[in-house]
Amino acid sequence: MHHRKPDELNAAQNALCESRECLEMAMEAGRLGIWEWRLDTGRITWSPTLERIHGLERGAFASTIEAYLRGIHPEDRDRVLDHIQQAIRERTEYRGEYRIIRPDGRIAWLEARGRLVAGPNGQPERMVGVCLDVTDRRQAEEALRDSESRLRAVVETAADGIITIDADGIIRTVNPAVERIFGYSADELIGHNVGILMPEPYRSEHDNYVKNFLRTGHAKIIGIGREVVGLRKDGKVIPLYLAVSETRIGDRRIFTGIVHDISDRKAAEEALARQAQELEQQARELARSNEELENFAGIVSHDLRSPLVTLAGCARLLEESPAALDPESRELIQTIRDSVEHLNELINSLLSYARAGSGELKVGPCDCEQVLQKVLVGLKVVLEANRAEVTHDPLPTICADAALMAQLFQNLIENGLKYHGQDPPRIHVSATAGAGEWVFSVRDNGIGIAPEDFPKVFEIFRRLHDDTSGYSGAGIGLATCKRIVERHGGRIWVESQPGQGATFFFAIPQQE
């Protein structure tokens, strides 16, 4: 018998240790563990790496099947047991993939394989195998599945159609929006040339276009996007916005088109254009009718005034005639003179209404305080007769047509005088600077206006009081005010309560 020398034995032992260490390092790096299960004693042996995979200290594994099963995720335990029993019963290889729960609570995925080894009597004696920590792979797979299903959800629910075609122009995928937009089912599209979604001549040009792009890289639409037309299954041509991008998968080229149905937008654009046209037409008509009104005002002032003057003159002559007139005739003559005066006022109102809307706007620095003073001088007699008082705060110099501003103040103050109650009229004018505008107010202590009538008072010929109420007028004054304010780019409104006076506001934009 050959006895090894101690040196030789040492060297052999050292070499064994080294290769064992190498193996352990390799197993560690590969997150691989080795196990052995003796069927007779039930004892399980784990390599140190397998203990580490389970998050256990070296030698901490209790070496029993119960300890092994305890470490497995409760949901996977039965399955693992089944697979092991099946392998023993049918003497086949054992394979399983399952979760374990580490002592620190972290979950890991293991892939296990085992094989039965027979004892000297030919009967299975033990099972040996490996265990691989596949947590990273499972997590990557899960993340991929996750992002895939998220992406699929986006594609499935997108309002825009998403089509992929290959380099031959053959449709590979379509999403439900494509089916909706074009009226085809996915089956009717996939595998067909994308040309079926285009009307002529684009259909015939498309193949050449793709070929040309592949050869020259010259893109008309790829990476750009533009408006195109599409052809629905029912033959209807629809406007679309199309953006195409190119993807390379290995050496294959895939084109993804995103189509957005812009029928609604187009229809809205057309409606808008139509509306603009109608508006333009209306503006032209308005200009014409304004012009007519101006002409009419001219006719009224000249042609209607002179017979009125004659009428008034005749009435006066009659009144002054030496022949004695009976009281009834005198009354008739007075009625004629009143009517003539009323008609005259009406003509004046109409004329100022026409002037407020037409003619050149002579905008310049307009000292409102001065304008108001002039108006008040003109109203002196009426103010005194009514025991009225008009007060005002300091008023600004604004950029406006002074003559029209005078008309505006005059109309508002006259109304304040006219629509008074029991007390003598008190009217107050003031102005405050707002955001980019001057807001003027003319407040009175008169009979007031019910809120539901606010919009009506600015309509022409609209009167809340007819002549039988004791308030005479033509219903033109506030309409003229509105015209003047609007010609200056401003707004006019009223705040009031019946019996509590009225405050008319108007805002004029501030200009440099």
Residues near ligand ADP (CB under 6 A)? 415-416, 419, 444, 446-449, 457, 463-465, 473-479, 502
* Contacts with 175 (C-beta within 8 Å, 6 or more apart), sequence order: 155, 156, 158, 161, 162, 163
Shortest distance (Å) from residue 401 CB to ligand ADP: 20
Q: Which of 434, 367, 369 is nearest to 398 (CA)?
A: 367
| Residue with smaller CB distance to ligand ADP, 71 or 416 | 416
Question: Looking at the DSSP assignment, which residues form a beta bridge with residue 245?
Answer: 256
As given in the structure block, the two tokens for residue 487 are 């010609």
Q: Which of 502, 505, 507, 506 is nearest to 451 (CA)?
A: 502
Shortest distance (Å) from residue 488 CB to ligand ADP: 19
Buried/exposed code over 350-368 (b: 16+ C-beta within 10 A; e: otherwise): bbbbbbbbbeeeeeeebeb
| Residue with smaller CB distance to ligand ADP, 210 or 457 | 457
Shortest distance (Å) from residue 420 CB to ligand ADP: 8
| Residue with smaller CB distance to ligand ADP, 359 or 475 | 475
* Contacts with 276 (C-beta within 8 Å, 6 or more apart), sequence order: none
Rounded CA separation 106/400 (Å): 80
| Residue with smaller CB distance to ligand ADP, 164 or 348 | 348
| Residue with smaller CB distance to ligand ADP, 28 or 345 | 345
Shortest distance (Å) from residue 459 CB to ligand ADP: 8
Q: Which of 187, 278, 182, 276 is nearest to 230 (CA)?
A: 182
Q: Which residue type is seen at 190?
A: I
**CA torsion 471→385→481→289, rounded to 10°?**
70
What Rg, from alpha-carbon coordinates, does the chain have?
50
| Residue with smaller CB distance to ligand ADP, 311 or 474 | 474
Rounded CA separation 224/211 (Å): 18
| Residue with smaller CB distance to ligand ADP, 175 or 503 | 503
| Residue with smaller CB distance to ligand ADP, 402 or 412 | 412
Shortest distance (Å) from residue 502 CB to ligand ADP: 4
Q: Which of 240, 301, 237 is nearest to 265 (CA)?
A: 240
Rounded CA separation 474/1 (Å): 144
Query: What SS3 state is found at 287?
Result: helix
Shortest distance (Å) from residue 482 CB to ligand ADP: 9
Spatial contact of 191 and 174, defined as CB atoms under 8 Å apart: no
Shortest distance (Å) from residue 387 CB to ligand ADP: 17
How far is CA 183 from its chain centroid? 28
How far is CA 194 from its chain centroid? 33
Closest-approach residue to ligand ADP (CB): 473
Shortest distance (Å) from residue 323 CB to ligand ADP: 39
Rounded CA separation 104/56 (Å): 10
Spatial contact of 232 and 183, defined as CB atoms under 8 Å apart: yes
Shortest distance (Å) from residue 476 CB to ligand ADP: 6
Shortest distance (Å) from residue 407 CB to ligand ADP: 12
List Cα–Cα distances, 89 to 218, 231, 273, in angstroms: 67, 65, 83
Residue showing tokens 């009144």: 319
As given in the structure block, the two tokens for residue 470 are 């004791």
Rounded CA separation 27/374 (Å): 107
